[in-house]
Chain A
């Protein structure tokens, strides 16, 4: 068949094909090489796959220490709604992705916080104050591979090991958290699980306390402010009354105006009567004299009253304006106080409903049988994955060697 048009790679190929070493390699050496390769594969397989598998298997059978698991399940719940329940989850999903992403489901936030807390440096630090973790994970029966490797580990290394031995998973559907604790003695596992659970409860309680305090503090601050305002308004009013010697300038002013109006009415009536009588009475009639006196008296009285209302600094109108301002301030302050007290009440009942607590679904059990290490499974995994890797490697090597033959 015709060769493809000469591209650059084909040229050296052609020259290499005619190279003498290839000819030299035929015959006996080639057969020996092939036979050697067959042996080689078996040897390599034994060396790279079977030997490691055997080592791992032997480790598990003869050497590996038993690891006991104590498991607890718990739920972080709100007092109000069923926190993290399936209904909530459904509502969260129906409410759209945005709400689901912002973690708007009630109770779930606290669950995640608890899951994040266990395994944090703070948690390890707290727990190592109560339980001697180092001693617990360096029991004499522990083997060198799985025990805690440091006698006096720094916090970071201890936390690293802690995260391998204390595992928390959160089921996002039901909100149930699963806590699994591994240790070399059943009692150790049980004790540590109990301790982690207790500390988690404490953490959740501080959440509640803090959230209640936060909610109430804002409402209480409002109430305090409103109270101060009411007091100030009252003070100002009392000060005004003392200074102005008037209990209620508004009503005083009203009274004065009423009096003037009445007096003016009476004056008008008196004048009318006077004019009427003057038409048919003599000027020196005593009745006219009486009326004249009355008109004069009324005019005098009106002038007096007017003067009293509009007299200089103590003008009643100004007094009234100042008084009304103070009165308005007092009313507003009263109303604010009432509403602030109302919000405080609401916040208090709200906070009670916000209370979060840990509900233990299943207490940590005292392990009886060492579930770990999973010797058979791990050994098989090692064998299968090494076999696959070996297969790939072998195929690659064989195809590479073809190029060199």
Chain B
């Protein structure tokens, strides 16, 4: 690691704009990589189930909800769409979304000591956490897809759509997480408000129900929420024609861009208060 990551710093001082930027990116990648490893160590430990928890945690939660839902037979039923698989595919991305945003406020405080290192910037810390969550959800999703394809005899309809949907959700959460981290760094009230807001947003997120079963008027209202669009997209990627879906990628991209811009700017704005 030390050779690839830090070997090139001799060129850092003398290079012009582009060279310096590239060098910066390379170093930032190294820092994020290191933080990612550290984050894994602190969060999952070594002696217990270790990294396995990364995959088991969302899988167990989604599985529990799916079992609950299918055993009580409430909600909607769509021919060809298993309740269990539906719950898995719907809830898992939502869990990641929630995990990223609800962990965001604590991220900076938990890693405050790291910021004493001049190499470690706030963005690196946040990025490392988000990437970890992202890796978790992609892995779990892959396991679900393979499992359902083997035992449920239902291969995903469109893997690129599924994958792009998950990446978009991650990027959206990343933008919101940046904002949440920045806001909670300056205001404790805002930090306290984030959790209730996340819970309140669950019914509006479109993760619980396929928009197809909703009244078209309510569906149109729901589609104002970019998150609902993304959940529909993920389900579209998984179920394909079994479940009609409604989403607009352009609309989602717009919000993703806006949130990320605002998040990055906000994090930069609160930097004087936190970094050294």
Contact = CB atoms under 8 A, between A and B. Distances in A.
A310 interface: no
A19 B119 CA distance: 12
A391 B265 contact: yes
A16 B119 contact: yes
B25 A400 contact: yes
A400 B31 contact: no
Interface string B112-139: 0110111111010000000000000000
Given A13-B120, A16-B6, A97-B76, A401 B264 contact: no
A400 B35 CA distance: 15
B28 interface: yes
Interface in A366-405: 385, 388-389, 391-392, 395-405
Specify which of B1, B34, B76 lies most central, judged by the most chain A CB atoms within 10 Å of its CB: B34
A40 interface: yes
Nearest to A98: B79
B117 A17 contact: yes
B261 interface: yes
Contact of A403 (B28, B77, B265): B28
B20 A401 contact: yes
B77 A392 contact: no
A173 B216 contact: yes
B117 A401 contact: no
Interface string A1-27: 111100111101111110101101100
Nearest to A14: B117
B213 interface: yes
B261 A391 contact: yes
A82 interface: no
B249 interface: no
Contacts of B77: 97-98
A14 B114 CA distance: 12
Interface string B4-37: 0110011011000100110111011011001101
A172 interface: yes
A32 B20 CA distance: 14
B78 A402 contact: no
Given A13-B120, A392-B264, A4 B113 contact: yes
Given A21-B13, A101-B212, A399 B123 contact: yes
A24 B121 contact: no
B24 A401 contact: yes
B79 A3 contact: no
Contacts of A9: 30-31, 34-35, 37-38
Nearest to A44: B17
Nearest to A10: B117
B72 interface: no
Q: Is the interface of B mostly helix, strand, loop or mixed?
A: helix
B261 A395 contact: yes
Interface residues of A, number: 45
Contacts of A10: 114, 117
Interface in B207-240: 212-213, 215-216
A330 to B, nearest CB: 48
Interface string B49-93: 000000000000000000000000000111100000000000000
B227 to A, nearest CB: 19
B257 interface: yes
Contacts of B43: none
A24 B13 CA distance: 8
A17 B118 contact: yes
Contacts of B6: 12, 15-16
B2 interface: yes
Interface in B222-276: 244, 254, 257-258, 260-261, 264-265, 268
B213 A97 contact: yes
Contacts of A22: 13
Nearest to B25: A400
B83 to A, nearest CB: 13
A21 B10 contact: yes
B170 to A, nearest CB: 15
A8 B34 contact: yes
Contacts of B254: 385
Contacts of B37: 8-9
Interface in A225-263: none
A68 to B, nearest CB: 25
Specify which of B37, B215, B261 lies most central, judged by the most chain A CB atoms within 10 Å of its CB: B261
A172 B6 CA distance: 60
A12 B7 CA distance: 10
A112 to B, nearest CB: 11
A36 B121 contact: no
A339 B57 CA distance: 66
Specify which of A12, A22, A37 lies most central, judged by the most chain B CB atoms within 10 Å of its CB: A12
Contact of A3 (B24, B113, B261): B113
A402 B121 contact: yes
Interface of A: 1-4, 7-10, 12-17, 19, 21-22, 24-25, 36-37, 40, 93, 97-98, 101-102, 172-173, 385, 388-389, 391-392, 395-405
14 contacts: A7-B34, A10-B114, A13-B118, A15-B6, A36-B17, A98-B77, A101-B79, A398-B268, A402-B24, A403-B24, A403-B27, A403-B121, A404-B12, A404-B20
Question: When A and B form their complex, which 7 residue pairs have the shortest distance between CB atoms, in order from nearest?
Answer: A9-B34, A400-B24, A404-B24, A395-B264, A403-B27, A21-B13, A388-B257
Interface of B: 1-2, 5-6, 9-10, 12-13, 17, 20-21, 23-25, 27-28, 30-31, 34-35, 37-38, 41, 76-79, 113-114, 116-121, 123, 212-213, 215-216, 244, 254, 257-258, 260-261, 264-265, 268
Given A9-B34, A385-B257, A389-B257, 13 more contacts: A8-B1, A9-B30, A13-B119, A13-B120, A22-B13, A40-B17, A102-B79, A172-B216, A388-B258, A395-B264, A398-B268, A401-B20, A401-B21
